[in-house]
Amino acid sequence: MIKELFLQEHKKLWKKKSVRISFLLCVLYIVVFGSFLTYQWFTFGSSRGTYSGFGNNFDGYENIRKMKEYAKQWEGEMTDEKLQEMVRDYQALVRGAEAAHSAGDREKESLYAEQAQRTDRSSIGSWISTLYPELEDSSQTYPSLLERYVDPAELTGFYERRQQKVEEYLDIFGHTEEEKEYLLQMNDRVKEPFVYHWLEGWKLYLTQMLNDFGMVMAVFIVIALSTVFAGEWHNGMGMLMLTTKNGWREVAYAKVLSGIAFTLELFFTIAAGAVAGQLIYLGTEGWDMPIQYIKLIAVAPMNMLQAEIYEYVYFLLGSVGLALLVMFFSAVARNNFIALVSGLAIVYLPMALTGYMPMQVQRVFDLIPLVGSPSDIFRTNVFHMFGQIIWSPYLLITIPVILGCAFIPFTVRRWAGRLKR
């Protein structure tokens, strides 16, 4: 009977215009706008010399191929000598562009500038500013852009300096000795020397594109599922439900299952589109690079592919957890608007307040479905539970879905109890 009820409720859910529109808009926004257009135009389109991504050329696919071709000369193990050569080459391109500009040769200047844009300059700059802060020269026009003027010969001891910075940052963040030991043991499993491939694609994908999934998905999940229970009262179906031959609890469970099914359908459609865009534009090269290339003080012994899998699992379980909470609010409220506002508030109110709260409160907020961030794999946040230290990413993928599941009995009881009255 549950199976038949589930199919009926799922069909009913998909008949709602708000559900179909939410599904379509979410897919269009993430897959088309947030994936394909980002690759082809906004981020990886060659620059026209403007500061806006909308000013880029619509040639991302070709430009990415050129970036990857440039990076091939540096592929392999990262060494001090290789870092020095990468910086030296970038500086030569910058100087060439400046000289051409002074000579009034716009064509040559554009050529040098285009070649400079194909480098992993933002990552290289981040590495240098993190590991060699003493080399910053305040007399320079742009002191923070060390990669433009630093002496490459001074860039030595890459791995030794990284180890020192990890330990320094653990002290700065106020970790206890026990926490530091726990995190440094994780860091000891990071494989050195690092393997290098073109980095900018993975960096964008893991820190920006996937990171924005949750905020977008949350809106449409709330819109679609806030009417699952409240909509029955809004449409005057409450009294009709009293005459159903099926048990009230069975109907409630069928509604919950249909909401979970919708969430899974939405997630896997989006994931399939995003992965397709990744494979078409970025390919699979560099999957085995360590995530430390993105943030040097990260202690997690993970490569890019493992980080991507983690982030998708985070969004999958977080989406299910949020869906269950939204359906609880829908069962509690008889008003669609109240259910909608409550669902949005559980996600966006903590986001709005987090900057004004103590760090411990912020970390608790992160355990609410889709409120935290999968980019915690690049950080050193920990929790203390039952006398154990637990790295925050472990809890960020488990607690939200457990929290959502814990509300299922209350959702069913509230709905069934309301019908009985």
Residue 244: which pLDDT band, with cuts at 50, 70 and 90? low
Reported as a single tens digit per residue, the pLDDT across 165-206 is 999 999 999 999 999 999 999 999 999 999 999 999 999 999
- Does 237 score more than 60 pLDDT? no
pLDDT at 136: 97
Q: What is the distance of C-alpha 41 from the center of its chain?
A: 20
* Separation between Cα atoms, residue 120 and residue 195, nearest integer Å: 15
Structure tokens at 192: 């050195």
Q: What is the distance of C-alpha 221 from the center of its chain?
A: 17
Residue 239: which pLDDT band, with cuts at 50, 70 and 90? very low
Residue 49: which pLDDT band, with cuts at 50, 70 and 90? low
Q: What is the mean pLDDT of the segment spanning 138-150?
A: 95
Residue 334: which pLDDT band, with cuts at 50, 70 and 90? confident
Q: What is the mean pLDDT of the segment spanning 249-273?
A: 95
* Separation between Cα atoms, residue 257 and residue 346, nearest integer Å: 21
Q: What is the mean pLDDT of the segment spanning 92-96?
A: 96
SS3 content of the chain, % helix, strand, coil (to 5): 70, 5, 25
Residue 415: which pLDDT band, with cuts at 50, 70 and 90? confident
If we measure between CA atoms, which residue out of 251, 234, 222, 245 comes closest to residue 415? 251
Cβ 280 vs Cβ 186: under 8 Å:
no
- Does 405 score more than 80 pLDDT? yes
Cβ 250 vs Cβ 4: under 8 Å:
no
- Does 236 score more than 60 pLDDT? no
- Does 111 score more than 70 pLDDT? yes
pLDDT at 250: 86
